[in-house]
Amino acid sequence: MASAPTDFAAIREATRRKVATAFIRRRPFITMPIGVLASTLLYLSGYPRPRIVAVVSVYATYLAFQFFDLLRYRGKHSLPLRTMFTSNLVTFTFVAVNVSITGGLQGPLAVGLLPVFLGTLMAFGRAAESRVTLAWVSACVIAIAFAPRWWTGPVPAAPYYTAIVAINALFGMTVFYQAFNSLNDQLAEVEGKLDRMREHVLVETKAHGRDLESLGAKVAHELKNPLASIKGLVQLLRRTAADERSEERFAVIGSEVDRMEGILRDYLSFSRPLDDLHVEAIDLGRVVDDTLAVVEARVAEASIALSREGATAVPVRGDPRRLKEALLNLVGNALEATPKGGRIVVTVVAEERDARVTIEDSGPGMSEETLARLGTPFFTTRDGGTGLGVCLARAVIAQHGGTLGYASEEGQGTTATLRVPRHA
């Protein structure tokens, strides 16, 4: 992921170079007819012969420079950006000279100043090359504006003046149109490359995640048998302990083994494959009742008031075993958070499209920061927890096309709300 910005910069640079190369290859064949037409119209308008000779000389030098660039980079698929920058500055200088000797900014060739600057701006954007070009263009325009009359010369007579303006305007629009289309084509190519890069990264990340998940599940599964053996040995040693102190130590070891087994059990549940669903027509209200029956003993031992409200029968399509597993995790979390003498209210509501189950406890609640991190693997607010219970519940509900949300305030308890579509 860290290499993405570098890759993008390289793609952007290659795009600019392609546009520059295409423009430099087409440029002489656009400039030549414009130069011929403009010189011919100046001649027909009766423009002073020495100025026409000067204009033709500038055009000829300009074309020679362009063909020199064309031959120098013949066979190369892309040119250095510095080449385009330098070439555009030289091009603008030639155009500015011709503008300055054919009437200045009031002359018919002045309209040709804009396309050259716009071409550089499109190619380089906010880069230093654009700022240098802007400074040079500004200096040339100011010099032309304040040039003496003896240098700028007269303005060609109508209708030749209008014809030259129209030709140069069409030339400018043609150049800008081609540059704009080339840039759009290259941007579309860049977009495709970036999409492919992003897809490649996502595929690799997903594959890596699956590998890690598979490895973690295998490790967890392999640890179950040694833990069971250790647990059995600890129980045996505890029964034959020589003194009370030794028995207490074996009890601590046994409780820690139980905790490790719980962590592995939660992880294995969390890492089950997504296709481990067996969807059928079920009664979600019945699933909720079965879940509450399982935790009755824990509720009584904790002296917590547990009540069931809402609809008794809510037909949905889903996997009853997985939904019960998710509900057990959510109700278990509510039991852990609720102090002795507190209450938990489980409500089942049949809506038009969804079935909604809310689990409201009277625990200490959570801060906004804690609520934002809830559901992150291995993030937990209680000692000995793994944080995988909420992950498991959320994954199961998402597999059913539903959602799991939490609302909580510190000192006001927490409400977990799950929704599953009534029709899969």
Residues 326-366 pLDDT 10s: 888 888 888 888 888 889 899 999 888 889 999 998 888 88
Q: Would the pLDDT of 213 be above 70?
A: no
- Confidence grade of residue 56 (pLDDT, cut at 50, 70, 90): very high
Q: Are residues 242 and 379 in the same domain?
A: no
Kindly indicate the confidence band of residue 53, based on its pLDDT and cuts at 50, 70 and 90. very high
- AA identity, residue 251: A
Look at 3 and 138; give whichever has higher pLDDT. 138
Percent of the chain's residues with pLDDT above 70: 78
Label residue 235 exposed, middle or buried (CB < 10 Å: 0-12, 13-18, 19+): middle
pLDDT confidence bin for 384, thresholds 50/70/90: low
Residue 25 pLDDT: 73
Q: Categorize the per-residue pLDDT at 4 as very low, low, confident or very high, splitting at 50, 70 and 90.
A: very low
Total domains present in the chain: 3
User: What does pLDDT average to over the chain?
Assistant: 79
| 275 part of a folded domain | no
- Phi/psi of residue 5, each to 5°? -60, -40
> Can you say how many angstroms the Cα of residue 412 is from the centroid of all Cα atoms in its chain?
37
Structural domain containing residue 246: 211-270
Of 167, 200, 233, the position where a domain reaches its end is 200
Q: Quick one: 145 and 179 in the same domain?
A: yes
Instruction: Indicate the pLDDT class of residue 15, thresholds 50, 70 and 90.
Output: low
Most distant CA pair in the chain: distance in Å? Answer: 125
Please, are residues 417 and 405 in contact by the beta-carbon 8 Å criterion? yes
The pLDDT assigned to 20 comes to 67
What pLDDT was estimated at residue 221? 61
Contacts of 114 (CB under 8 A, 6+ apart): 172
Provide the phi-psi class of 7: left if phi over 0, else alpha when psi is between -120 and 50, else beta: alpha
For residue 5, is the peptide bond before it cis, meaning its omega torsion is within 30 degrees of 0?
no
Answer yes or no: do 194 and 341 share one domain: no
Both 86 and 191 in one domain: the answer is yes
C-beta atoms surrounding 11 within 10 Å: 17
Condensed to tens digits (0 to 9), the pLDDT of residues 72-128 reads: 777 666 666 677 778 778 888 888 999 999 999 998 988 888 777 776 777 677 778
- If asked whether residues 288 and 408 sit together in one domain, one would say yes
Same domain? 216 vs 196: no
Among candidate residues 307, 323, 409, 411, the one with its CA nearest the CA of residue 359:
307
Q: 250 and 353 in one domain?
A: no
Among 246, 270, 294, the domain boundary falls at 270
Structure confidence at residue 412 (pLDDT): 82
In this structure, the answer to whether residues 284 and 266 fall within a common structural domain is no
Residue ending a domain, choose from 233, 249, 270: 270
- Quick check: is 205 in a domain? no
Q: How far apart are CA 204 and CA 350, in angstroms?
A: 41
- 83, 137: one domain: yes
User: Which residues are 403's β-sheet partners?
Assistant: 419
pLDDT tens-digit readout, 161-189: 999 888 888 877 776 676 667 667 766 77
Alpha carbon distance 294, 332 (integer Å): 10
Q: Coil, helix or strand for 178?
A: helix
Does the residue 360 lie in any domain? yes
Contact criterion met (CB below 8 Å) for 423 and 317: yes
Q: How many residues does the chain have?
A: 424
CATH no. for residue 293?
3.30.565.10
At residue 16, the pLDDT reads: 65
**How many Cβ atoms are within 10 Å of 49's Cβ, its own excluded?**
10
Do residues 76 and 45 touch, judged by C-beta distance below 8 A?
no
Query: What do you get for the CA distance between the two ends of the chain, in Å?
Result: 37
Same domain membership, residue 169 and residue 296: no
Taking residues 26-54, what's their average pLDDT? 86
Please check whether residues 222 and 336 belong to one and the same domain. no
Q: For residues 213 and 268, what is the distance between their CA atoms, to the nearest angstrom? A: 10
Between 58 and 212, name the one with better pLDDT. 58
**Token digits of residue 248:** 């207490």
pLDDT band at residue 2, thresholds of 50, 70 and 90? very low
- Residues 260 and 343 grouped into a single domain: no
Instruction: Check whether 252 has a pLDDT greater than 70.
Output: yes
Is the entire prediction scored with pTM above 0.85?
no
- Beta bridge partners of residue 419, listed in sequence order: 356, 403
Q: Say yes or no to pLDDT of 1 above 50.
A: no
Taking the C-alpha atoms of residue 28 and residue 7, their distance in angstroms, rounded to an integer, is: 33
- What's the pLDDT at 151? 92
Please determine, for residue 36, whether its predicted confidence score (pLDDT) is greater than 80. yes
